[in-house]
Amino acid sequence: MPVLRSLGRAASQLLQSSGCGCGVSLVPVRAIGVSPRQVASDASFHSVTFSESDHPRVLITGGLGQLGVGLAKLLRKRFGKNNVILSDIRKPADNVFYSGPFIFADILDYKNLREIVVNNRITWLFHYSALLSAVGEANVPLARAVNITGLHNVLDIAAEHNLRLFVPSTIGAFGPTSPRDPTPDLCIQRPRTIYGVSKVHAELMGEYYHYRYGLDFRCLRYPGIISADSQPGGGTTDYAVQIFHDAIKTGKFKCYLRPDTRLPMMYLDDCLKATLEIMEAPAEALTMRTYNISAMSFTPEELAQEVQKYVPELQMTYNVDQVRQAIADSWPMNFDDSNARRDWGWKHDYDLPELVTTMFSYLGSDSRIAQAN
């Protein structure tokens, strides 16, 4: 394959002359040592019992976010503790640090990230480093660097070293002109947040690298993810996590979305299960590189009614945040995930009643909940 040396030199000179003061080492276009028709067959692991030598060697970037720790726990149980490396730029809690391999990894440092992949013989990479919707809108330059420049580094390294790459997408990849009820896999997107734009970019770049270089790229569009294991992280759907904490602590919750704002949601365990299933699915079963997945859709009012079965005196008030409301109004109300269910057998386990029961069982036995039960 032709090597883009002249373009790489030109990009390097341009970056050096631009006086970029962001403290990030931007990397020019690199030659990718992968044939356009080559498929990463040596990284093709299916849903079977693995021998010890056949386990994938896994790296998770952005691993201290909402999903990374839970994913590491699931993968370590399946593939072995030492075969799954969690990474982030933050200091992990003691329980996370001692639960398995952890390493500092800055996705904007191409050289260091490449060394990690090579030195640890990585074969699967889960790329979770990203700034979420509301946080990204508050710091667009940082979101652009992390969500787009970081992705480019990961794509190049994954293609060069024949990795199986998973990059999550989101309901935020759709916009106000997208069909909302339901939203199919393939339709107009046009998001209006830097988070959504970066996710559409990731979907298209991953698909391009698959067809151009044979990269085994896999992507799921997550709905709002609800978990008892982490605090809300600045996303538009995080009200559906905060309500449980506030109901237990104070019996009061102030929601920043309108009571009738319907969004697709999913419990964490279903999300992690779907992520492992798409990575283990035989390549020949996949008819696309990016799939919608969903489990349920509900409004803040419907969630509050279910929560009140456990905390009857919950006082629900609304103080609409116009920024987050505008974001939510541009997102799908229901996901059509029929392609995932057909191609690789996706099936969720948690609907709204099971979700609420599970959240309260994890978050503690408050006296109000005990009395209700």
Query: Do the domain assignments include residue 10?
Result: no
Q: Identify the CATH number of the domain in which residue 145 sits.
A: 3.40.50.720
Nearest to residue 154, comparing CAs of 123, 194, 127?
A: 127
Nearest to residue 141, comparing CAs of 204, 194, 201?
A: 194
Instruction: Write the CA distances from 110 to 35, 152, 154, 155, 171, integer angstroms.
Output: 22, 9, 8, 11, 29
Query: What's residue 65's pLDDT?
Result: 83
Total count of residues recorded for the chain: 373
pLDDT 10s digits, 298-352: 999 999 999 999 999 999 999 999 988 998 999 999 999 999 999 999 999 999 9
Query: Do the domain assignments include residue 358?
Result: yes
Tell me whether residue 98 is one of the annotated catalytic residues: no
pLDDT 10s digits, 65-78: 879 999 999 999 99
Query: Do the domain assignments include residue 169?
Result: yes
Q: Mean pLDDT in the chain? A: 85
Which pTM value belongs to this model?
0.82
Q: Residue 222 is which amino acid?
A: Y
Query: Do the domain assignments include residue 76?
Result: no
Nearest to residue 164, comparing CAs of 261, 257, 286?
A: 286
Largest CA distance in the chain: 72
Nearest to residue 296, comparing CAs of 258, 240, 347, 334?
A: 334
**Residue burial 170-204, b: 16+ Cβ < 10 Å; e: rest:** bbbbbbeebebebbebeeebebebbbbbbbbebbe
> Is the pLDDT higher at 33 or at 86?
86
Task: Give the number of domains in the chain.
Answer: 1
Nearest to residue 30, comparing CAs of 144, 119, 157, 124?
A: 157
Among residues 128, 195, 222, 350, the one annotated as catalytic is 195
Query: Do the domain assignments include residue 28?
Result: no
Query: Do the domain assignments include residue 95?
Result: no
The domain of 318 spans: 130-372
Query: Do the domain assignments include residue 109?
Result: no
> Is the pLDDT higher at 277 or at 228?
277
> Residue 292 — pLDDT band, cuts 50, 70, 90?
very high
pLDDT 10s digits, 138-151: 999 999 999 999 99
> Residue 9 — pLDDT band, cuts 50, 70, 90?
very low
Query: Do the domain assignments include residue 299?
Result: yes
